[in-house]
Amino acid sequence: MIKYLGKPLEIAVEEEVEFVINGRVYRKFCTPSMLRELAIGFLVSEGILKSLENLKLEICGKRILIEIPNTSELNSRLSGFFRNLRPKIRIKGKFKLEELKEYLQILEIEEYRKTRGYHVSAVVTGDTFYRAYDVSRHNAVDKAIGMALLNSADLSNSFLLISGRISREIALKCVNAGIPLLVSKAAILSSAVEFCIESGLSAVSFATNIAIGNAIE
């Protein structure tokens, strides 16, 4: 039985989808939209792929069929989503701190206002942004990165804008994708601060009032 405590909001959608990678099945829950972008962003942001070359991908309903070159390193990463990585990021350009706050409005979307249940992420490069939402902040990041890659965006001269907190896992996704700056209106965690210092990733948390790294001026 469902009781309403006032005027109800719409309920954010979360469903199970299957990733079939070289015949092996992995299941995850997500908002079932932008599945191609989700898959591509996931493969790159997890360090499984460095480029989209030799990638075969097909969407069959809620199944994502993926074929990529099979290597021992790939198998290690897929068995438990291997994360014992210490990648480094190269800084190509600078971003003005006072201008970054203006971009937070990109995170305001109707889907969030209707449900209060979605995270929003956007890859911003120049005057263009690639935005996505999902019930999972990790999935929202993957979708935005995947969308940017499908549009041949230069990730090395962009930044990732997120509505949720900055964790080490989100920071690692940024570095694996080659994005030099991570910006959030929410807090940053201590593990992410340590990772940013180790990897060279720059980050701005407007909730914590912290800016880290050389990509900010």
Give per-residue pLDDT as tens, 131-157. Answer: 999 999 999 999 999 999 999 999 999
For residue 106, which of 183, 40, 187 has the smallest C-alpha distance? 183
Mean pLDDT for the chain overall = 91
Residue ranges of the chain assigned to CATH 3.10.20.10: 15-78
Per 3-state DSSP, the chain is made up of helix, strand and coil in percentages (nearest 5) of: 35, 25, 40
Give per-residue pLDDT as tens, 85-134. Answer: 567 888 888 999 989 999 999 999 999 999 999 999 999 998 999 999 99
**Per-residue model confidence (pLDDT) at position 56:** 94
pTM confidence score = 0.92
Average pLDDT over residues 2-8: 81
Going by pLDDT thresholds of 50, 70 and 90, the confidence category of residue 83 is low
Q: E strands within 44-138?
A: 56-60, 63-67, 119-125, 128-134
Whether 136 contacts 34, CB under 8 Å: no
Give per-residue pLDDT as tens, 172-202. Answer: 999 999 999 999 999 999 999 999 999 999 9
Whether 181 contacts 215, CB under 8 Å: yes
Cα–Cα distance between 194 and 140 in angstroms, integer? 23
**Per-residue model confidence (pLDDT) at position 90:** 81
Torsion angles phi and psi, residue 168, rounded to 5: -60, -40
Going by pLDDT thresholds of 50, 70 and 90, the confidence category of residue 72 is low
Q: E strands within the chain?
A: 15-21, 24-30, 56-60, 63-67, 119-125, 128-134, 159-162, 181-184, 202-205, 210-212
Dmax over CA atoms of the chain, in Å, equals 56
Q: Which CATH class is domain 97-212?
A: alpha beta
**Per-residue model confidence (pLDDT) at position 85:** 58
Average pLDDT over residues 38-66: 93
pLDDT at 78 over 70: no
**Per-residue model confidence (pLDDT) at position 75:** 64
Q: Which helix (DSSP H) or strand (DSSP E) does residue 41 occupy? A: helix 35-45
pLDDT at 73 over 70: no
SS3 124: strand
Residue ranges of the chain assigned to CATH 3.40.140.10: 97-212
Pick the CATH number of 15-78 from 3.60.9.10, 3.30.750.24, 3.10.20.10, 3.40.109.10: 3.10.20.10
